[in-house]
Amino acid sequence: MAKEFKYRGKTLGELKKMDMDEFAELLPARKRRSIKRGLTERQKKLLKEIRENDQVKTHARDMIIVPEMVGKTIGIYNGQEFVEVEVEERMIGHYLGEFTRNREEVEHSAPGLGATRSSKYIPLK
């Protein structure tokens, strides 16, 4: 038996019935303040597209995931490409940008151009 999802004591159905101001009261302070001050034009456009389509692409990494996004596929731009992310219940209240990596892992190899004399030394054995 799977445990029913709840966010701050509210089920997904209850969250979807709430308007944006009621939902904002459940969020942590930084995110609540962001919603209370009003969404940007890019964020408003994203919400409108999500209501019309199941699959959208966006550059709005700072958009807070709201209940009406659950079940949709969103292409989030990471600086090079759009990474497809399926929005799940547990993602509610997080930023879209948290679910895509925008930096590559650093892999060091041999010393490159401009290396100092001491770092160019590679022992034979």
Ordered by where they begin, the domains of the chain are: 6-101 (3.30.860.10)
Whether the Cβ atoms of residue 33 and residue 62 lie closer than 8 Å to each other: no
Backbone Cα Rg of the chain? 21
Beta-carbon count within 10 A of 11 CB: 14
Nearest to 76 by CA among 89, 65, 66, 68: 65
Residue-by-residue pLDDT tens, the chain, 125 positions: 778 899 999 999 999 999 999 999 999 999 999 999 999 999 999 999 999 998 999 999 999 999 999 999 999 999 999 999 999 999 999 999 999 988 888 887 776 666 676 666 666 66
